[in-house]
Structure 1
Amino acid sequence: MATLENDYLRVSIRPEGAELTSIFHKPSGIEHLWQADPAVWPWHAPNLFPVVGGCLNNQLLIDGKTYPIARHGFARQSVFEITESTKTHAIFSLRSSDTTREHFPYEFDFQLIYELDGATLTVTYRLANEDEQPIYFSVGAHPAFAVPFTPGEAYEEYFVEFEREEPLETHMLSSVGYFTGETKLIPTTGNQLPLTKHLFDADALVFKNLASRRVAIRSNKHDHAILVSYPKFPYLGLWAKPGASFVCVEPWLGCADSEGAPKPIQQKEAIQHVEVNKVFEAAFTIEVR
């Protein structure tokens, strides 16, 4: 376990999945991360790699071969090595191994870098290509924020505020988690999306064409808020298990497959790649105000 701490936040990250387990705001005494109730949803903030969402037939097609891959990939269930740890900075590393090659036949060093500065936590995904060919992959975040923030408040008093006022067109998912090709406009009030216990009855809301690169979780009753900024992530998911007291804000570089025939990894929607001897980096931030 690594713990980052300053006058504003105390943040904990465990080696299993390099997963955030706590974002505690010291001035208010509020724990902002969902505490992984196993009876509801047993995660805090899983990291998604080397795929985001589900792949058709639970397989990746790479160089003419198929490889079994679980929904959201294997990183969230892998044990990372803590390679650096200070009071405000930690690096977690997952290197390719015989186990990872069974699912993803590349040589790599996948890192999660956590940096605390004031009331802002920066999370950086870093992929170093140690192979002799380009690596194709997806990566994404899945942090679950506890809502309401304090006892005595109601979930329905909260809303997600988008950086811009814009149409929220969600891309519909099938019952097994693949895109159907259908879309639906989600009702908003200006740039605000009210939270309700039935908002996610049909699974996640997935936005592929947002202009907004920042969202906030806010209350109608006070000014305390969580801001998530994702400048390099074109896709955004919002999700909660229906009826649960949290909401996930999920910046993605990649997404689930669409219904139909499987495609080679190079042709998957929103796929990323990193060239030989190069390094890919993308970061998002979580700020408590």
Structure 2
Amino acid sequence: MTTLENDYLRVSVRSKGAELTSIFHKPGGIEHLWQADPNVWPWHAPNLFPVVGGCLNNQLLIDGKTHPMERHGFARHTTFETTESTTTHAVFSLHASDTTRAAFPYEFTFQIIYELEGPHLSITYRVVNNDEQGIFFSVGAHPAFAVPFNADDTYEDYYIEFDQAEPLETHMLSSAGYFSGQTKAIPTEGNKLRLTRHLFDQDALVFKDLVSRRVSIRSAKNSHAVTVDYPEFPYLGIWAKPGASFVCIEPWLGCADSEGEQKPIDQKEAIQYVKEGDVFEATFSIKIE
């Protein structure tokens, strides 16, 4: 376990999946990350790579060949190497191996960089192309924030505040986890989306066309807030297991497949690309107010 700490936050990251396991706000004495109850949802904040969401038939089609690929990719199940570590900075690295090549036949290094500065935690995804060809991939985050923040509040006291007041339209997922082609308007109060125990009865809310690039989890009863800034991530998922005491804020560069015919990786919706010898980076941040 790697720990980063300053006067505001104490953050823990485990080597499996380079996954955050704790974001503890020291002045408030509040643990803000869901603590992975195995009877409810056994994750804290999985990192999604090289796919986001589900692939049709659990397969990736690359250069005319199919490769097995589980939902959200293999990175969250794989042990990363800690290649840099200081009190406020850590780099976790995953290198291509025989195991990864069976599912994703590229030479790469996938790095996750954590940096603490004041009340901010920044997370950078870096994909280094070590191959002799371009690499197609998706990457995304899935942090689950504990709600309510304290015992005096209820889940229904909380809301998601978008930085822009705009219509919200979610892209619906089928029971198998693929986009169905249908959309649904989500009622809001200005720029506020109220949390309820039934908001996610039909799976995640997936927004593909948001103007907002910042959302906050807030309570009607206090001024404490968790804010996620995602300027480089055009897709956003919001999800909780119905009835559970958390909400996930998920910036994505990629998304699940749509129902129908399987598409090759270079034609997948929201797919990312890094040319040979080049490096891809995208950063989002979490601020505890």
The TM tier, using the shorter chain, reads: over 0.9
Where does residue 273 of structure 2 map in the other structure? 273
Where does residue 239 of structure 1 map in the other structure? 239
Structure 1 residue ranges, 4+ long, deviating more than 2 angstroms after superposition: none
Where does residue 55 of structure 2 map in the other structure? 55
Where does residue 147 of structure 1 map in the other structure? 147
The one-character-per-residue Cα deviations of 1:3-36 (angstroms, maximum 9, x if unpaired) are 0000000000000000000000000000000000
| Structure 1 residue 152: Cα displacement | 2.4
Where does residue 177 of structure 1 map in the other structure? 177
Matches within 5 A, 1:1-289: 1-289=1-289
TM-score, with structure 2 as normaliser: 1.00
| Structure 1 residue 134: Cα displacement | 0.3
| Structure 1 residue 153: Cα displacement | 1.1
The one-character-per-residue Cα deviations of 1:170-228 (angstroms, maximum 9, x if unpaired) are 00000010000000000000000000000000000000000000000000001000000
Instruction: Name the CA distance, whole Å, in 1 between partners of 2:55 and 2:243.
Output: 27
Task: Note the residue ranges of structure 2 that are not aligned, 5 or more in a row.
Answer: none
Q: How many residues align?
A: 289
Instruction: Letter of the 1:84 partner, please give it.
Output: E
Instruction: Name the CA distance, whole Å, in 2 between partners of 1:270 and 1:147.
Output: 30
3-state SS of the aligned residue for 1:36? coil
Instruction: Name the CA distance, whole Å, in 2 between partners of 1:5 and 1:151.
Output: 25
3-state SS of the aligned residue for 2:103? coil
**Percent identity at matched positions?**
74
3-state SS of the aligned residue for 1:102? helix
Instruction: Name the CA distance, whole Å, in 2 between partners of 1:180 and 1:264.
Output: 19
**Two-structure CA RMSD over aligned residues (Å):** 0.3
Instruction: Name the CA distance, whole Å, in 2 between partners of 1:115 and 1:47.
Output: 16
The one-character-per-residue Cα deviations of 1:97-140 (angstroms, maximum 9, x if unpaired) are 00000100000000000000000000000000000000000000
| Structure 1 residue 151: Cα displacement | 1.0
3-state SS of the aligned residue for 2:76? helix
Instruction: Letter of the 1:194 partner, please give it.
Output: R
Instruction: Name the CA distance, whole Å, in 1 between partners of 2:133 and 2:149.
Output: 47
Instruction: Name the CA distance, whole Å, in 1 between partners of 2:226 and 2:144.
Output: 11
